[in-house]
Chains A and B, each alone.
Chain A
Amino acid sequence: MDKETLLDWYHQMVLIRRFEERSDELYQLEGKIKGFLHLYIGQEAVAVGTIAARKKGDHIITAYRDHGHALAVGIPASQVMAELMGKATGAVGGRGGSMHLASKERTFWGGYGIVGAHISLGTGMALAEKYKGTDNVCLCYFGDGATNIGYFHESLNMAAVWDLPIVFICENNKYGMGTSIEKASAAHKMIDKAKAYKIPGKQVDGMDIFAVYEATEKAIDACRKGKGPQFLEMMTYRYEGHSIGDRTRYRPEGELDKWRDEKDPIATLQNHLLQEHKVKEADLVAIDKKVIKEVDEAVEFSDDSPLPALDTLFDHIYPSNAEAN
């Protein structure tokens, strides 16, 4: 991996982290963000490392913890922030909010709030590509908790029966809200569930962006070659609560510190850059500063943006039939 790419990854990961920290403040201190807010801090390597492995035309679909994916596919931070603030300039015009970011031109289909439902949508996107005979694949993300819902099982089975080009990416952060995997799932390894459907699975260190990238590249490649669905279990950790207002009382003492101090994905990449690529500390600091500016500008842009006009309330209930024949 060349240095430029790694610096770009570093930039993206730091951007996600600062963006999330600032969102948290905007919610808790300034009251500018309402509703649900699920932060991605700790899991940055997964979105950045997997999306780096996709090519144009590949589909991305994920759950409500979607800010990281939205930024990694390249939606400008200003549009993501404006969406969180419910502004007209937001990624989806203030209609979706934090959980429903999307960008058609980037084949990023969203952000979905019903646990597991979008796994079936992703399966359908892979079906559409297979139907059309392209070599596009779908990267479909979900949490460990989502592996307990029917949608997950029906979709994996369907994808396997039809050999669909989909990479199921389980972001295993050990908990679904406050319930640990041990309490909620009979199988403690998510890849064992994939195995039941004869889908090749791999556990990956989700805090190590190199491991994430490499595993994703292989999985995508297998999909493109017609080998059917693939399953990646990214072992990761969310540092913040499930969403705002979660005091994370369900975590054993010291668990967070251990992940953050020993495995932080940004620190890991930082060390790699400093040691293997002889990047100067000042260069990284420059990126950090650039990111702070980017996030500040995103907030400023959002502050200055108008609210959606009330006369747009009923727009888009149905898709336009203008181009239908």
Chain B
Amino acid sequence: MARLTLREAITEALREEMRRDENVFIMGEEVGAWGGTYAVTKGFLEEFGENRVRDTPISEMAIAGAATGAAMAGTRPIAEFMTINFAFVAFDAIVNHAAKVSYMFNGQFDCPIVFRAPGGGGKQLGATHSHTPDVIFAHFPGLKVVCPATPYDAKGLLKSAIRDNGPVLFIEPVALYTSPKVRDEVPEEEFTVPLGVSDVKREGSDVTIITYGEGLHVSLDAAKALAKEGIEAEIIDLRSLQPLDMGPVIESFKKTFKAVVVEFGHQTYGIGAEIAARLQDEAFDYIDAPIKRVAQYDVPAPYSGELERAALPNADRVIAAVKEIL
């Protein structure tokens, strides 16, 4: 066991998969000589060489499109976006091509590709560079969307994503990359975490908090504070947004009858809306209180630090939401 940061866990997964399978290669802006915008691929160029660690021009459409073609033609590319904000430019290649070629061509073509995208705000990067647009990508059948919150999950999920025969958008919460709080034991032996399986991260019987990514840590903080007042929150980490595993969510809700959804994306049409709809569809008789949403307020991310933080979810907002329905 080693205690790894989320970023170290991702780096390990990439390195191990590249050593394991020579069809796996990395392409993206500044992944090589620079070592990755967030230094995730530091040392990779030296170990794997230019053919497998490919610096690209600033061409997001072509990066995503070429990765798709390369995946169809028998390699297993990992395409890195500097940040998920730039994936907007490649939206068509991702959702209209990578995510469609299996279905549209009747299952003839595989498309084993991982789009890696650091995401999230809170770093004072301004409105265009601070998005958490995860749910938008999760809207489309054909694209798996994954977002880890712990180093263990990050390593295991990324390995599964690389081995999957279809396209996976792997979202890495930048705020968690090097956070000491998130540092965790990660086994050195081989393991994977399956895609599309939610996970109970804390047990409790009073309220169910459904979250993922950065939201997990805000929720854990809130749960700790609530526990001091005798309120036990159960926390479900979705881990994958598409496919969405509602199993543990429903199970927990049938025990607590109350739910709060915590997400860092904007609230309107967000994951909270989806979870709330499914809960009232699948567990209507168990609803004891309104299903609450704690999300980023519907405002472009401002630059100024305090102002930006005011728009994002935090433990206090989660606590307030829980108390509102208890």
Q: Taking beta carbons and an 8 Å cutoff, which residues of A are in contact with B?
A: 59, 61, 92-93, 95-96, 100, 102-104, 109-110, 112, 114, 117-129, 131-132, 150-151, 154-155, 157-158, 161-162, 315-321, 323-325
7 A-B residue pairs with Cβ-Cβ distance under 8 Å, sorted by A, are A92-B108, A100-B104, A104-B108, A109-B109, A128-B75, A155-B66, A324-B165
Contacts A92-B106, A109-B72; A323 near B65 (Cβ below 8 A): no
Residue B156 interfacial (CB < 8 Å)? no
Q: Assess the B102–A120 pair: CB atoms within 8 A.
A: no
For the complex, is B70 an interface residue (Cβ under 8 Å from A)? yes
Residues of B within 8 A of A158 (CB): 56-57, 59, 62, 66
A125/B65 in contact, CB under 8 A: no
A96–B73 Cα distance when bound, in Å, is: 19
Q: Would B96 and A114 count as touching, CB distance under 8 A?
A: yes
**Which residues 266-308 of B have a CB within 8 angstroms of A?**
none
- A110, A316, A324: which contacts B103 (Cβ < 8 A)? A316
Q: Tell which of B68, B106, B111, B142 has the most Cβ of chain A within 10 Å.
A: B106
> With A93-B106, A110-B105, A114-B97 as given contacts, are A320 and B165 in contact (CB-CB < 8 Å)?
yes
Note all chain B residues with C-beta closer than 8 A to A126.
Answer: 69
A19 to B126, CA, bound (A): 56
Residue B51, interface by CB 8 Å: yes
Q: Is the CB of A321 within 8 A of B25?
A: no
In the assembled complex, the Cα of A229 lies from the Cα of B101 at a distance in Å of 25
Q: Determine whether the beta carbon of B59 is less than 8 Å from that of A321.
A: no
* Chain A neighbourhood of B56, CB < 8 A: 158
CB distance B102 to A316 under 8 Å?
A: yes
Closest to B96 in A: A114
Mask: chain B, 69-86; 1 = CB below 8 Å from A; 0 = not? 111111101000000000
Most B CB contacts (10 A, CB to CB) among A118, A127, A154 go to A154
- Contact between chains at A120 and B107 (CB < 8 Å): no
The chain A residue with its CB closest to the CB of B67 is A124
Distance between Cα atoms of A104 and B66 in the complex (Å):
18
Nearest neighbor of A136 in chain B, beta-carbon distance: B73
Instruction: Kindly list chain B residues whose C-beta atoms are within 8 Å of the C-beta of A132.
Output: 74-75
Q: Is the CB of B102 within 8 A of A319?
A: yes
Q: Whole-angstrom distance from the CB of A140 to the nearest CB of chain B? A: 9
**A124 touching B61 in the complex, CB below 8 Å, given contacts A95-B106, A320-B165:** no
- Contacting residues, chain B, for A315 (C-beta < 8 A): 107
Highest count of chain B CB atoms <10 Å: which of A109, A120, A127, A316: A120
- Picked from A131, A161, A316, the residue with its CB within 8 Å of the CB of B70 is A131
Whole-angstrom distance between the alpha carbons of A222 and B21 in the complex? 31
Question: For A131, what are the chain B residues with a Cβ–Cβ distance below 8 Å?
Answer: 25, 51, 70, 75
B164 within 8 A of A: yes
Interfacial chain A residues near B66, Cβ < 8 Å:
120-121, 123-124, 127, 155, 158
Report the nearest B residue to A316, measured CB to CB: B107
Question: B141: CB under 8 A from chain A?
Answer: yes
Structural contact, B103 and A121, CB atoms closer than 8 A: no
A92 to B102, CA, bound (A): 10
B109 — which chain A residues lie within 8 A by C-beta? 102, 104, 109, 319
Least CB distance from A234 to B in Å reads 22
Q: How far is the CA of A197 from the CA of B119 in the complex (A)?
A: 33
Expressed in whole angstroms, the Cα–Cα distance for A315 and B106 within the complex equals 8
Q: Tell whether, in the assembled complex, residue B65 and residue A121 are in contact, meaning their CB atoms are under 8 Å apart.
A: yes
User: A123-B62, A127-B69 are known contacts; what are 15 more A-B pairs with Cβ within 8 Å?
Assistant: A109-B73, A117-B93, A117-B97, A120-B61, A120-B68, A121-B65, A124-B67, A127-B66, A131-B25, A132-B74, A150-B61, A151-B61, A154-B59, A154-B61, A154-B62
Q: Are A124 and B70 in contact (CB under 8 A)?
A: yes
Q: With A319-B165, A324-B164 given, is the CB distance from A120 to B62 under 8 Å? A: yes
CB within 8 A of A121: which of B69, B102, B104, B164? B69
Residue numbers in A under 8 Å from B97 (CB-CB): 112, 114, 117-118, 121
Q: Which residues of B contact A324 (CB under 8 A)?
A: 112, 163-165
CB neighbours of A112 from chain B (8 A):
97
**Contact status A121-B72, CB under 8 Å:** yes
Query: Which residue of B has the minimal Cβ distance to A99?
Result: B104
A residues less than 8 Å from B105 (CB atoms)? 92, 95-96, 100, 102, 104, 110
Determine how close the nearest CB of chain B comes to the CB of A68; give it in whole angstroms. 18
**Known interface pairs A151-B65, A161-B57. Does A317 touch B75 (Cβ–Cβ under 8 Å)?**
no
CB pair B96 A117 closer than 8 Å: yes
Q: A124-B73, A125-B70, A157-B57 are in contact. Are A95 and B65 (CB under 8 A)?
A: no
**What is the distance, in angstroms, from A149's C-beta to the closest C-beta of chain B?**
9
Partner of B65, one of A100, A104, A117: A117
A135 to chain B, nearest CB (A): 14
A163 to chain B, nearest CB (A): 12
Q: Which of B44-66 contact A (CB under 8 A)?
A: 51, 54, 56-57, 59, 61-62, 64-66
How far in angstroms is the closest Cβ of chain A from B12? Answer: 19
A124-B70, A161-B57 given; A96·B165 CB < 8 A: no
Using CB atoms, name the residue of chain B closest to A95.
Answer: B106
| Bound complex: CA A32 to CA B107 (Å) | 25
State whether B74 touches A128 (Cβ < 8 A). Answer: yes
* Residue in B54, B93, B102, B163 whose CB lies within 8 Å of A318: B102
B166 part of interface (Cβ distance < 8 Å): yes
CA distance A309 to B66 in the complex (A): 34
Q: CA separation between A132 and B105, bound complex, in Å?
A: 24
Once bound together, how far apart are the Cα atoms of A129 and B69, in whole Å? 11
Contact partner of B71 (CB less than 8 A), chosen from A117, A119, A124, A154, is A124
Please indicate the chain B residues that have their CB under 8 angstroms from the CB of A321 in the complex.
Answer: 163-166
